[in-house]
Amino acid sequence: MDCDIVNLTDEDVIERIIKLNEGLASFWGNSRGWAPIEAAKILTKSRLDWQVSLSRQLKLFLNPIIEKEAGTLILAWSALGSLTEGTMKLFLSVWYNDYKNDIKAFKKKNDKIISPDTLTLEKLRVFFADSIYKENTRKLWEIEGAIDWIDWVLFIQQKRNAIHAFEDRDIGDFDIFFQNVRLYLQFLRNITDDFPYPDMEFGTYKPSEI
In this predicted model, what pLDDT tens digit does every residue of 110-133 receive, in sequence order? 989 999 999 999 999 999 999 999
Cβ proximity of 178 and 10 under 8 Å: yes
pLDDT for 144-196, tens place per residue?
999 999 999 999 999 999 887 666 688 889 999 999 999 999 999 999 998 98
Taking residues 30-50, report their average pLDDT: 81
Kindly indicate the confidence band of residue 199, based on its pLDDT and cuts at 50, 70 and 90.
low
pTM (predicted TM-score): 0.92
Residue 202 has pLDDT above 50, yes or no: no
pLDDT for 46-76, tens place per residue?
888 999 999 999 999 998 878 778 889 999 9
Residue 203 has pLDDT above 60, yes or no: no
What pLDDT shows up at residue 43? Answer: 84
Residues 6+ apart with CB under 8 A from 104: 127, 130, 131
Task: Tell me the percentage of the chain whose pLDDT exceeds 90.
Answer: 67
Cβ proximity of 137 and 146 under 8 Å: no
Kindly indicate the confidence band of residue 204, based on its pLDDT and cuts at 50, 70 and 90.
low
Residue 113, φ and ψ in degrees, nearest 5: -65, 135
Give Rg (Cα) of the chain. Answer: 18
Residue 201 has pLDDT above 50, yes or no: no
Residue 194, φ and ψ in degrees, nearest 5: -105, 20
What pLDDT shows up at residue 56? Answer: 97
154-189: b or e for each residue (b if 16 or more CB lie within 10 Å)? eebbebbbbeeeeeeeebbebeebbebbbbbbbbbb
CA distances from 205 to 28, 115, 196, 198 (A): 11, 26, 9, 6
State the number of CA atoms in the 13 A half-sphere of 100 facing the CB.
15
Least confident interval from 16-25, 26-35, 41-50, 143-152:
26-35
What's the first-to-final CA gap in the chain, in angstroms? 17
